[in-house]
Amino acid sequence: MKAQKVSLGTMDWETFQKLDSRQKAGSFNINGRPYHVLVAQQFGRKFLEELGDLATFIRKIAKTKAGMDFLQKQLSHKAAMLYFSQPSTRTFLSFHSACQILGMHTVEVRDTSTSSEVKGETQEDSVRTFSSFADAIIMRSAIGGLAEKMAWVLSNTDRPVPIINAGSGKDQHPTQALLDIYTLRRSFEKRGGIDRKKIVFVGDLARGRTVRSLAYLLTNYDGVKQYFIAPPQLQIGKDIQDILVQAGVDFELGSDLGRHVAEADAVYMTRIQDEWDEKKGESQKIDNAKYYFTADHLRRLPAHSVIMHPLPRRLEIDIAVDRDPRAVYWRQVRNGMWIRVALLAFIFGCENSILKNSPKAGS
């Protein structure tokens, strides 16, 4: 059943908040293109293909000085606020670099102790302040649902600007899922694409927002089977299981990586996210020994498969695996920059200019 489209400006926050992500998703897009970027549910297969095509096109023209000079003129009249109140390395640098490639000016707040929040300013007021100086706010927070709340706040003001969720509590990380899909697409482009592949998720799946977002995005592809390998305490949540059931996805829950590694097209490793422990040290009591990717797993992994990880990692992948061409987690990092360049281009409507007017397109 098609989800009912709702508008951010037609109901109060308490009512809007109670809707499920599918019901909300349509209100984050305008005329089929993303305005706010908040949940994986707002992206369909057509857009994922267009976004990937644009990212690949951009990375090609960026290899020349003329191409890079052209790209840096596309959004030189725009500014982005990077509001990262939760620690980040890859996502912050990826977005910052993506803005620079398109010529966007950036301002940032990475420590709320240096902002007026330390004086008691609410986050709603902080974000409204940021909107006075920026044309988009890219935000990462340990508070679940905060990006969505800020999108609702700004959409009900006289200066609405796009909010891009760069990680929100344990909820979702939609742009990580976009780069993961792009990595899978590029990895499987000679094997018929993502359709009918077997994806094995391993580790802390209950609290891994990257897994939550990617598991949903994979429902856009035909015949993909998903395996969730985790300790019982860290298994994927019922909310995601319900989404997969509703989408008719074939999936299995388990605790034995070795059982599935020989048939996997992709193994998506994750770390134990003990920063979400309700009691300090409780994750250390979980036996994680079976959830490490070892040299033995590597020997059994098919030659065509890939090993992924959203990073940072700890001990969940043997460092010797890094030298194997099937390890694509460093490639994921770079893919993230290009997919975010393409996403910003779509948000600000310059994708057609890039496709039609770039030096490469005209050569």
Question: Which residues are annotated as catalytic?
Answer: 90-91, 119, 140, 173
Cα(362)–Cα(340) distance, integer angstroms:
24
Closest CA to 331 of 298, 308, 315, 301: 308
User: Rounded to the nearest 5°, which phi and psi values hold at 39?
Assistant: -140, 155
Asked if residue 166 lies in contact with residue 150, where contact means CB atoms within 8 angstroms, the answer is: no
Query: Is 163 in contact with 141 (CB distance < 8 Å)?
Result: no
**Following CA atoms 140, 168, 310, 191 in sequence, which dihedral angle do they give, to the nearest 10 degrees?**
-120
Identify the CA nearest to 43 among candidates 57, 59, 22, 58: 22
List, in sequence order, the alpha helices (H) in 62-163: 65-71, 90-101, 123-131, 146-155
Q: Residue 251 — φ and ψ, nearest 5°?
A: -145, 160
CB atoms within 10 A of CB 256: 11
Distance CA 112, CA 87 (A): 11
Handedness of CA 63, 68, 74, 76 (dihedral sign): positive
